[in-house]
Structures are given as structure tokens and as C-alpha cells.
């Protein structure tokens, strides 16, 4: 049996990751592929329980170190229970966020990028996507999209200040530069179907 593929979508809040994940999944199913849609934090029963701990409550509910460990624990469960079994049976797994989010959000303060990668090696044996799409959108456009959707306000992490979100965007851009084979930057502006076409174009080399 042929191994499937693991694809992650990354980027700041409101860039359109969830919208594009759904569109890409539909398109790949149309090509006859077995597709699993998943997300982080979450994607397995245990990781979804950790998601609720991570995204709700006061801003200072977790220390930066505890927060990074919770994300790593959620990811370990997600990979073990959902991602790896699906890829092994030949499915294409599309994940809304993955490791690069921890590197960008948790790895540029009390902890470094090297610390996050070490946690990932311990928790998940360094498991990486076959391809990662970094959706980029000017900050004003992204926050307008996120605001139009989040009528009840941002979550614990999304609610941080714009300086924080700019540092996150800079970190993602650095990863794309460091790992151009795995991480492909996709312009997320314009109509959703135009963005989907860009994604498919950047996936053709992996498609059967
Ligand atoms: N986090 C972390 O800190 N460390 C980690 O390791 C991980 C995560 C895995 C997860 O929140 C939070 O956890 C996140 C990072 C942190 N917080 N922040 N920031 P989440 O999963 O609940 O939410 P999110 O990942 O930030 O995504 P999002 O806000 O849901 O945005 P999105 O998925 O990129 O966008 P969307 O929902 O597809 O679209 C947003 C709106 O724009 C929506 O109304 C769409 O209909 C609209 N949209 C989408 N595309 C278009 C186009 N092309 N044109 C016009 N309008 C559009």
C-alpha cells in the first residue's frame, strides 16, 4: 500500500486556513483521494480536550513553558491517534496548523525555536509534514477577516497585541526561507477560489 501525505496549513489568524483546507479537501476528494481534515490544537479526543484548556480562560492562565508543553502533548496525541494511522493507510491528511505554529507562537519568547524542536522530537519523534503552506495576507486584511467572523472576540492567543502577531508573521517567513522544500508561501489575498488554485499549483508535484 502506498503511504499517504501529510500537509499542513499555517499562517496568522484570519489568513483563510480553515476555508482553504475545506476547499483543498474537496478538490483532492474529487481526484479520488482518501482525505482526512484535521486541526491543531486538536484533531484527536485527547488533543481536543487539551485545546479547550489552551484556548479558553484568562490570558495568564498558563506560563509560556506550560503552554508550550500542552501544545506539544496535544500534538503527540494528534499524530499518534489520527495523523500517522491515516497516512499509513494511504490517506492525505490536511491539518489546519501544526508544529510551525508552536515554533512561531511559543518559540520566540521564554523558549527558543530550538526548544520547541526539542519538545517535538521528544513528543512526536520529529514527525514533519510532506508539505506546509504558509498563507500570507497583509495584517489589516487578516484582522478584518478574523473580526468579521469572531463576533464573540478572539481566543486566549489570538487576542494578543499586534506587535506579537507581527513577530509571529516574521517567524513564519523565516521558516519558509530556511526550509524552502517543505514550506511554500502562498499569497492568500483575493477570492477564495483563486487562492485554492495557487495551493493546488504548489501541490502538483506530490499528487499521484
Ligand atoms: N496556536 C499556538 O499558539 N501554537 C500552536 O502550536 C498552535 C496554535 C497549533 C488556534 O486558534 C490558536 O492557537 C491560534 C494560534 C494558536 N491563535 N491565534 N492567533 P484557531 O485554530 O481557533 O484559529 P486560527 O488558527 O487562528 O485560525 P482562524 O482565526 O480560524 O483563521 P483562518 O482559519 O486562517 O481563517 P478562516 O476561518 O478560513 O477565514 C476567516 C474569515 O475570512 C472567515 O469569515 C472567512 O469566510 C473569510 N475568508 C476566508 N478566505 C477569504 C477570502 N479569500 N476572501 C475573503 N474572505 C475570506
CA atoms within 13 A on the CB side of 33: 25
Determine if ligand 1 sits within 6 Å of the CB of residue 97.
Answer: yes
pLDDT in tens, 40-63: 999 999 999 999 999 999 999 999
Give every CB contact of residue 5 below 8 A, 6+ residues apart in sequence: 87, 92, 93, 130, 131, 206
- Specify the pTM: 0.96
Question: How much distance in Å is there from the Cα of 81 to the middle of ligand 1?
Answer: 24
Determine if ligand 1 sits within 6 Å of the CB of residue 24.
Answer: no
- Characterize 137-157 residue by residue with b for buried, 16 or more Cβ atoms within 10 angstroms of its Cβ, and e for exposed: beeeebbebeeeeeeeeeebb
pLDDT in tens, 154-164: 787 777 788 88
**List of domains in the chain:** 5-206 (3.40.50.300)
Determine if ligand 1 sits within 6 Å of the CB of residue 177.
Answer: no
Q: Are 105 and 168 in contact (CB under 8 A)?
A: yes
The residue length of the chain stands at 208
DSSP state of 126: T
Amino acid at each position: 500500500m502506498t503511504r499517504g501525505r501529510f500537509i499542513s496549513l499555517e499562517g496568522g489568524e484570519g489568513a483563510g486556513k480553515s476555508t482553504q483546507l475545506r476547499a483543498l479537501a474537496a478538490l483532492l476528494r474529487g481526484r479520488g483521494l482518501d482525505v482526512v481534515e484535521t486541526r491543531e490544537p486538536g484533531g484527536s479526543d485527547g488533543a481536543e480536550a487539551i485545546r479547550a484548556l489552551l484556548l479558553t480562560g484568562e490570558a495568564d492562565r498558563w506560563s509560556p513553558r506550560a503552554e508550550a508543553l500542552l501544545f506539544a502533548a496535544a500534538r503527540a496525541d494528534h499524530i499518534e491517534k489520527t495523523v500517522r494511522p491515516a497516512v499509513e493507510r494511504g490517506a492525505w491528511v490536511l491539518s489546519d496548523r501544526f508544529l510551525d505554529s508552536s515554533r512561531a507562537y511559543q518559540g520566540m519568547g521564554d523558549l527558543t525555536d530550538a526548544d520547541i524542536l526539542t519538545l517535538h522530537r521528544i513528543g512526536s519523534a520529529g514527525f514533519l509534514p510532506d508539505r506546509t503552506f504558509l498563507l500570507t495576507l497583509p495584517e489589516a486584511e487578516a484582522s478584518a477577516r478574523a473580526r468579521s467572523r469572531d463576533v464573540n472576540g478572539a481566543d486566549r492567543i489570538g487576542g494578543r497585541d499586534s506587535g506579537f502577531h507581527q513577530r509571529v508573521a516574521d517567524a513564519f517567513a523565516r521558516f519558509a526561507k530556511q526550509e524552502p522544500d517543505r514550506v511554500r508561501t502562498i499569497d492568500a489575498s483575493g477570492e477564495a477560489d483563486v487562492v485554492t488554485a495557487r495551493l493546488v499549483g504548489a501541490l502538483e508535484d506530490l499528487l499521484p
